[in-house]
């Protein structure tokens, strides 16, 4: 059976070849036309987040039977067309939620304690002085979490039990037992906006969550609120975020994702602001999480090849 892996980095090729020696391995992001041309005979397609599997792609890959995305989200796949074509879809529902949760606090602590500026001051300016680098402590601050799936839940646990923050959360499907065990409370979305000193986003990109952070929601937030986004860039409306930052309503924005990641020039105004810290979608990018991504994808492929039930189905045959 013809298997193709897209968006594969050099260091991951060996593990693929050990499991599937005949697999086609392609690096980088391809256009629709390139995917159709290079994957025409493919029956099993394993992708990551930047190759868009559109209606046109699915309809032109006539041998396609299974798509596996090595990610939690699958909004880059046309589910409606896949279902119509009876193409099964699997994801990797948890490749290391703790890794992304850790990055939330890496961004937060680095920014609030002025780590980059301090390092630059000592290394480049040879000034071992602390004036002007007064930070913000986390203990006692109210953290509002939107989405308490595996990642949001890990953030809640670290914040409440580790940093002794007051944690409130919103989720359409609250896990009240987990909240009790980890010392946080579920609140309405309006209460998240009004009561949080820091807001961390951990919801999927859906029609109802696109531009969830907008002019209206920002207007309901505390003066000097801090926003962290390690989920999907489109959850924040860029223009509204810029306005809030420039007016001082938002004190800091710590972003691992951007609304216009494929055209970085559209983010120029945002990323140049001094109170914005941006990392290039690396929250997931650690040794154990990358290993688990491939391990889980391999399980799905083997289940399919052996005619077994797919354990991480988004859509079935």
Residues acting as catalytic residues: 232, 261, 281
Contact call for residues 76 and 50 (beta carbons, < 8 A):
yes
H-helix or E-strand containing 88? Answer: strand 88-90
Gyration radius of the chain over CA positions: 21
Assess contact for 45 and 51: CB atoms under 8 A: no
Q: How far apart are CA 235 and CA 201, in angstroms?
A: 8
The full DSSP string for 220-270 is: TSPTTEEEEE-S-GGGB-HHHHHHHHHHTSEEEEEES--TTTT-GGGGHHH
Question: Taking the CA of residue 51 as centre, how many other CA atoms within 13 Å lie in the half-sphere pointing to its CB?
Answer: 30
Assign 3-state DSSP to the chain and report helix, strand, coil percentages, each to 5. 40, 15, 45
DSSP three-state, residue 38: helix
């Amino acid at each position: 059976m013809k298997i193709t892996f897209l968006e594969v980095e050099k260091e991951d090729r060996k593990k693929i070849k050990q499991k599937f020696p005949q697999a086609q391995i392609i690096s980088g992001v391809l256009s629709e036309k390139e995917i159709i041309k290079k994957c025409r005979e493919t029956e099993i397609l394993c992708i990551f987040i930047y190759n868009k599997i559109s209606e046109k792609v699915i309809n032109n890959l006539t041998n396609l039977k299974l798509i596996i995305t090595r990610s939690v989200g699958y909004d880059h796949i046309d589910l409606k067309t896949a279902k119509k074509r009876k193409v099964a879809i699997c994801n990797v529902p948890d490749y290391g939620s703790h890794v992304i949760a850790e990055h939330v606090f890496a961004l937060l602590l680095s920014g609030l304690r002025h780590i980059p500026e301090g390092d630059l001051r000592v290394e480049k300016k040879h000034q071992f002085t602390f004036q002007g680098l007064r930070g913000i402590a986390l203990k006692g601050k109210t953290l509002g979490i939107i989405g308490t799936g595996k990642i949001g839940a890990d953030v809640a646990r670290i914040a409440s039990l580790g940093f002794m923050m007051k944690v409130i959360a919103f989720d359409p499907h609250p896990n009240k037992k987990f909240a009790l065990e980890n010392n946080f409370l579920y609140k309405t979305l309006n209460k998240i906006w009004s009561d949080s000193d820091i807001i961390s986003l951990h919801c999927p990109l859906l029609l109802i969550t696109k531009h969830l952070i907008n002019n209206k929601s920002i207007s309901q937030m505390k003066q000097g609120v801090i926003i962290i986004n390690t989920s999907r860039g489109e959850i924040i409306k860029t223009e509204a975020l810029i306005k809030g930052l420039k007016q001082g309503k938002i004190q800091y924005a710590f972003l691992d994702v951007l609304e216009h990641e494929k055209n970085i020039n559209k983010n120029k105004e945002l990323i140049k602001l001094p109170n914005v810290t941006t990392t290039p979608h690396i929250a997931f990018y650690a040794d154990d999480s990358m290993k688990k991504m491939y391990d889980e994808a391999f399980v799905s492929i083997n289940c399919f090849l052996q005619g077994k039930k797919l354990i991480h189905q988004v859509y079935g045959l």
